[in-house]
Each structure stands twice: as C-alpha cells, then as structure tokens.
Amino acid sequence: MKTDRQRISRAGVARIAALALLWGSGFLWIKLALRGFNPVQIVFARLLLGFLVLTPIALSRGLRFPRQGRLWGHLFVAALVANAVPYLLFSLAEETIGSNVAGVLNATTPLWTLLLAFLVGVDRAVTAKKAAGFALGFLGVVVIFSPWESASEIASWGGIACLAAAASYGLGYVYMGRFLTGRGIPPILLSAAQLGAATVLLVPALPFTGLESPQWRLDAVVSLLVLGVLGTGAAYVLNYRIIDDEGPTAASVVTYLLPVVAVLLGWVVLREAVTTAIVAGIALVLTGVILTRQRSAPSLATTGGEPVATPPGNRAE
C-alpha cells in the first residue's frame, strides 16, 4: 500500500488497524456504558480519563502547557465544538438508535468539514469530483434513514443528533485549522489541553444530570474505562505515531475503516441488524468521502475520527 512514504510498513498497518478498532469501537462502548451511566456522566468521564492519559505523556516529554490567554480561548471554543457537544450528542443519540448507525453517520464528518470550509471561505475550490462526492455522501445518509420505509425515521432524534455531532466535528476541524495549528505547539500538548478544557466545560452540566446515581455494572464500567483511557486518550498517541512514521495519507485510511468496524461490532456484540440500507449507505458515504478528499486543503484533512487539537492531515510534531 503506497502512502506519503511510498509504502506503509507492517508496523504501520498494525497501528492503523489498532486505531480503526479503537475509534470504530467507540460507538459500541458508548452503547454499553449507557447501561450504567447517563450521557453526561459518560462524556465527563471519557474527557477526564483522556486528559489524564495524555497529560503525563506530554509532560514526560518536557512539554509545558501554553500560558497565552488568547490561545486558551481558542482551545475552549475548539473543546466545545469538537469534544463536548459531539460527544454528548452521540451519547444521547445512542439511547434511541443503534451503535452501527451512529458509526456510519459519523463517517460523514469529512463531508461536513469540506462544506463548512467552503462556507467560511477556507476552501472555495469546488471541482466536479467534490460536488459529486457531496451528493453521493448525503444520498448515502438518506439511504441509511430509508424514509420510504418509515416516514418518521428521517426525523428521528437519534439520527439527527448524530448528523449534528458529525457537523460539529467538521466545524471543529475548520476552527482548529484556522486558529490552533501551525503555531509550533506539539499536537499532543494541544490535545491534552483541549481535553482538559472540554472537561471543565462539562462541569456546569453535572449538577443537572451528571450527579444521578449510576448503576455500577461491570460491563458499563469497563466500557467507560476503555472509551476514556484507550479511545479518547491512547488513540491520539497512536494517531500521531502513524502520522509521524507513515504520513497523513496513511492515517486517513482510518476514515474508511471506522464505519465498517462500528457495523461489524454492533452486529457481533449487540446483535444489531445489518440491513441492505446500512450497507448501501456506507458504500455511498465512503465513495463520497473519497471523491471529496483533494490535496488542495491538506490542513483540513480528517480521519473521520474525533478531532482533538490538530487535524490528522497535519504532520505531528
């Protein structure tokens, strides 16, 4: 497989597979964690755990958190639109829809990113391939909802919440590409800082629903720990390692694996139905993503994962 470095190493293939499993399984862990915790508790815990994983790693490398107030202002905005809001929306959505559908709709993130980049003037290059990609991608979303089979499904709260979360991720990528990247600050430090800021943003919500007594089920507790420690913490270290060793193009391969992982795990573990509409929707969405991924705006490239601090299209420092 050719990448930015001509050929991806075997170790790189293993890391890409591991990252796809970590991020793609996130929707399964959310579904399982909901058996014992409410959405606010899940989001607060995963953000805090991710922060506690990344911070010691950053500090052990001799890095120190930035002191500029303006930079922290941008970090809090990014934390809101790229972490707190989409994390909460996906957790709320999975109370009513399957983890497989959430995983597939998350794959629309690159489409939202490019659309928002165009609207704010960051990337105004519209080609026939990009236009076709947008059309195919959102046609895939319609196929997944299958409104001709159930008129109410297209307006389901869970599905709309997932699309809103993916759009929020896209906004986060655009915002970070404009205000946080290219400042000479190592991505892992910005990621730790952004997760810390997102954790702080969730604190005001705790008195309303976050203090409810959870059910300390083993499957829910383990799922929450995996989601926070591995999926929201360690995954970013792995992501930066892939970018550093293999280049951003190799890292972007994860985009195409996440929905497949989410659907397979939902089917195997939760017995969620794999319908013809879901399979066709995945194919259309991923085809649309492929067509829209042009190198004209590398700073906005995404993996379709969870944006923290630096879009994976930028080389890690």
What's the pLDDT at 167?
Answer: 95
Residue 307 has pLDDT above 80, yes or no: no
Least confident interval from 11-15, 80-84, 222-226: 11-15
What's the pLDDT at 298?
Answer: 41
5: in domain: no
What's the pLDDT at 170?
Answer: 92
Residue 13 has pLDDT above 90, yes or no: no
Classify each residue of 213-236 as buried b or exposed e, where b means 16 or more C-beta atoms within 10 Å of its C-beta.
ebeeeeebbebbbbbbbbbbbbbb
**Contact of 214 with 30, CB cutoff 8 Å:** no
What's the pLDDT at 210?
Answer: 65
Q: How confident is the model at residue 99 (pLDDT cuts 50, 70, 90)?
A: very high
Question: Containing domain of residue 76, as a range?
Answer: 10-207+214-293
What's the pLDDT at 301?
Answer: 42
Highest mean pLDDT among 7-21, 128-142, 214-228, 284-298: 214-228
267: in domain: yes
**Contact of 49 with 233, CB cutoff 8 Å:** yes
Q: How confident is the model at residue 39 (pLDDT cuts 50, 70, 90)?
A: very high
Q: How confident is the model at residue 304 (pLDDT cuts 50, 70, 90)?
A: low
Domains identified in the chain, total number: 1
25: in domain: yes
Find the mean pLDDT for residues 128-144. 85
CA distance 39 to 61: 34
What's the pLDDT at 311?
Answer: 43
pLDDT in tens, 40-63: 999 999 999 999 999 999 999 999
315: in domain: no
pLDDT in tens, 256-273: 889 999 999 999 999 998
Q: How confident is the model at residue 294 (pLDDT cuts 50, 70, 90)?
A: low
Find the mean pLDDT for residues 69-83. 95
Q: How confident is the model at residue 297 (pLDDT cuts 50, 70, 90)?
A: very low
Residue 77 has pLDDT above 60, yes or no: yes
pTM, rounded to two decimals: 0.86
What's the pLDDT at 124?
Answer: 67
298: in domain: no
Residue 137 has pLDDT above 60, yes or no: yes
187: in domain: yes
What's the pLDDT at 313?
Answer: 37
Find the mean pLDDT for residues 125-140. 84
1: in domain: no
Least confident interval from 25-34, 46-55, 122-131: 122-131
218: in domain: yes
